[in-house]
A = this chain, B = another copy of it.
Amino acid sequence: MKESTLQSWEVLKNQELFVAAPWIKLSVQQVRLPNGRLVDDYYQITLPEYTMIFAQTTNGKVIVEWLYKHGVGRVSLVLPAGLIENGEDPLAAAQRELLEETGYTSADWRLLGRFVVHGNYGCGRAHLFTARNAQRVAEPDSGDLEDTEIVLMKLEDIVEAVSNGEVALLSSIAAIALATNPSFVPWCVSDAQHP
């Protein structure tokens, strides 16, 4: 980690304003900045951690989903994702979600990274994974509120969908852009290798 003169803020008080466990907790904090300044009303939003998976089949197609997400307010193209259950290992959660949502399993999982969703308020963490050589072993049965259309797409078609604004979620674009970026993930299976 960075050696730095930069300091953390100190939380002097923390008051819960609203709790709907296990979904949302809204708190207000009194914090002291490194320069001594007090801020009386800095909000923090606690949301469940979740996983998202950039999964590719044995022939390099990416497993994506069309669905309506209420936070987005329209149908868009997303990667398989789901909440991490209480005490669950993030990788185990990702493997469970991929199987439940899409019916696919993989023996080749890697962590792309874990990222805080919102810099000011927190809003949980996203654990992004890749799964290679995924194979379909079951019917999808997510139990989620959303109806879903599962599609296998070539990377070039995903790029076109992104340019058309059809990938609307920050977590989906982050996982897609990271998993297909040769600077970050040299192991990505490109379409060029699997026509």
Which residues of A line the B interface, CB within 8 A? 1-2, 4-9, 17-18, 20, 23-24, 26, 31, 33-35, 37, 39, 41-45, 47, 66-78, 81, 113-124, 126, 145, 147-149, 155-156, 159, 162, 164-171, 173-174, 177-178, 180-184
Contacts and interface: CB of A to CB of B under 8 A. Distances in A.
Contacts of A75: 1-2, 4, 6, 8
A66 B4 contact: yes
Judged by DSSP, the binding face of A is mixed
A115 to B, nearest CB: 4
Copies in the complex: 2
B78 A6 contact: no
Contact of A26 (B7, B18, B148): B18
Contacts of A183: 155-156, 159, 180-181
A181 to B, nearest CB: 4
